Structure formats: structure tokens, C-alpha cells
Amino acid sequence: MSYLEEFELNQQLLEFDLEISDDYSDDYSKSCEINDYKSSYASPTELATLSLKYFLEKFPIPEGSIHTAQEIEMKDVISKNKKIKCTVFLSYSKEIRNSIFVKIKTSYNYNGKVVANSEGTLVVPKN
Amino acid sequence: MELKFKSIEKFISEQKVQEYAEVSGDFNPIHLDDNYAKKTEFKNKIVHGMLLISNINELMFRNFKDSWNKCGTLKIKFRNPLVVNSKLITKGKIKKIDKNNDGTLYTCEVMCNDEDDNILINGIASVLVQE
């Protein structure tokens, strides 16, 4: 079976709680060699990176896949050390030749309000 | 009008790629395993795309501070891979400034290049700075 083939478009793939802790933020900044980065708010890319980690635990991306695009939109502040709810959807899937073009959208909610969105595009080799 | 940001130059080492694999959970062998990478079209291990994007995040935070974390938007396309143990140059410039009742919206062209000036990733970052 090809990657995510069992899911319909706009079907929810995953839901989880995520928290950008001070420790995670320090590890992220260190791994990316970001200096002078002090904020009480989560940055767009650390948010997308941590949610990717949760996603990959459940849906490992097949070898040979290529990440071709990424969008992240912050709609409000996301304070560090606060839990937010993440909902992941399959937003696009199309088979072209021997590959499947897949878009995975994540919505980040705090207190029932959408505070950010992200969408990654992958090209996954067909089995 | 085009206002250029001060660029960021870094050397992306194997150690940084390993550390990024740990924070992202992305242990794809294309990033970490020499023997695997040799058999791919890239012939070498390549840096995670999201690690490249983190440098655009850094560029925008340097210039817009918490406004970037509060209401930044990023649309990036991946053009070419960066081989591990290579230099990375992150650049950006303001392309447009729009003032409205909510504040000032800065639209910026951003990119990461390798040392031969090949574009690795590029796109648009925009941020609303509230007065």
C-alpha cells in the first residue's frame, strides 16, 4: 500500500497535544546554531519541527521521499510551556508517474482558537 | 525599494545534522548514513530541509523580534539539496511595505544559497508589525 493511501482527502490523520518547553527550545536553537534567540514565544519553525517529530512517530516517511515545500502561518502568539492541540490532515494527494504528491496540513489550536497553520509538501516514491 | 538584511553564514556539520535529527525525529538515512547516501542521486548525505528553513526563521527573528513569532508567515520551496559539511548563506530583503490600521506589513524575499551561490530554498516571509 502506498503512503497514506488508506486516507481520504481532508481526513484527520492525527491529533496530539504539543508544548514548546524551554528545554526543547534550547535544544532546537542549539541544533540549528541560532544565537541570540531569546523569546517567551514559540517560533514558527520550532513549532513545525516539533509537530513533525510527533507526525513521524506515527507516519514514518518512506525512504526516497523529497520535501518540496513548506508553509507556516502564525495567527497569534504561542507561549512557551503551554499545551496546544495539533490536528493533522491529509490536504492533497495525487499520483504522478511513479510518485505520489502529498500535502499534510497541521492546525494548531489554543483555547479553541486557531493560532497557527502549517502545510508540508512531499513527493513520495510509489511502492 | 529593496532593503537587504545582513546575511547569515554558517557551516553545517555532521554534528549539527545529527543534533537536528534528534530534535525533529527525522532519522532518514539520506541525512545520516554515508553508505545509504552514496547510492542515491545526491551521492552524499544532505541536510534536512527544515534545518535550512530554521536559518530563515533566524534571519526574520533578528530583524523583527517577537513580531515574527507572533504573526510571521513563511512560504518556502526547496530547490536544491545542501550536502552535509558545507557552507550555507541565508539572505533576505524587504520587497514591500504596506501600512494599514493593524500595523505595518513587511513582505520579504528570503533564500538560502550554497557557497557557489546556487539557490537551495527560497520564498516569501511576511510579518505584521503592530504599532
3-state DSSP call for residue A57?
Answer: helix
A20 part of a folded domain: yes
Residue of B nearest to A39 (CA): B66
Total-model pTM = 0.94
Burial class (CB in 10 A: 0-12, 13-18, 19+), B43: exposed
Say what the pLDDT of residue B83 is: 97
- Mean pLDDT taken over chain A: 93
Domain that holds residue A98: 12-125
Q: Which residues of chain A have a CB within 8 Å of the CB of B23?
A: 24, 27-28, 31, 49-50, 53
Hey, what amino acid is at B82? L
In a domain, B25, yes or no: no
CB B59 within 8 Å of CB B5:
yes
Does A27 reside within a domain?
Answer: yes
* Structural domains in chain A (count): 1
**Chain B residues within 8 A of A78 when measuring between CB atoms:** 69
Rounded to whole angstroms, the Cα distance separating A10 from A17 reads 20
* Distance from the Cα of residue A38 to its chain's centroid: 23
Residue A91, domain member (yes or no): yes
Cβ neighbours, 10 Å, residue B98: 11
Residue A37: the pLDDT is 78
The CATH code of the domain that includes A89 is: 3.10.129.10
**Strand-strand pairing, B72-78 and B3-4:** unpaired
Domain range for B115: 3-12+49-129
Element (H, E) at B38: helix B34-38
B68 contacts on A by Cβ (under 8 Å): 43-44
Q: What is the pLDDT of residues A73-89, one digit of tens each?
A: 999 999 999 999 999 99
Return d(Cα B38, Cα A33) in angstroms, integer.
27
- Chain A residue with the nearest C-alpha to that of B120: A68
A74 three-state secondary structure: strand
Strand partners, A12: A89
| Per-residue pLDDT at B52 | 97
Chain A residue whose CA is closest to B73: A73
Closest-approach residue (CA) in chain B for A78: B70
CATH number at B117 reads: 3.10.129.10
Give A67's strand partners.
A122
Residue A36 confidence (pLDDT) above 80? no
Per-residue pLDDT tens digits for A42-54: 999 999 999 999 9
In a domain, B68, yes or no: yes
Per-residue pLDDT, B1? 66
b/e map B30-39, b = 16+ CB within 10 Å: bbbeeeebee
- Number of domains composing chain B: 1
User: What's A85-121 look like in SS3?
Assistant: EEEEEEEEEEEECCEEEEEEEEEEEECCEEEEEEEEE
d(CA A83, CA A67): 27
pLDDT at B131: 76
Q: Do B71 and A76 touch (CB under 8 A)?
A: yes
For residue B51, list chain A residues with Cβ-Cβ distance below 8 A.
Answer: 31-32
In a domain, A110, yes or no: yes
Q: How far apart are CA A50 and CA A39, in angstroms?
A: 17
A35: pLDDT strictly greater than 90: no
A7 assigned to some structural domain: no
pLDDT along chain B (131 residues), means of 10: 91 97 94 95 95 97 95 97 98 96 96 98 97 76
Residue A56 lies in a domain: yes
Distance of alpha carbon A10 from alpha carbon A8, whole angstroms: 6
State in Å, rounded, how far the first CA of chain A is from the last one.
Answer: 7
CA separation (Å) from A28 to A15, A45, A49, A62, A103?
A: 22, 10, 9, 24, 24
Is B122 inside any structural domain?
Answer: yes
Give the rounded percent of residues in chain A with a pLDDT score beyond 70: 99
Q: Which residues of A touch B (CB under 8 A)?
A: 24, 27-28, 30-34, 36-37, 39, 41-46, 48-50, 52-54, 56-57, 61, 63-78
User: Does residue B72 belong to any structural domain of this protein?
Assistant: yes
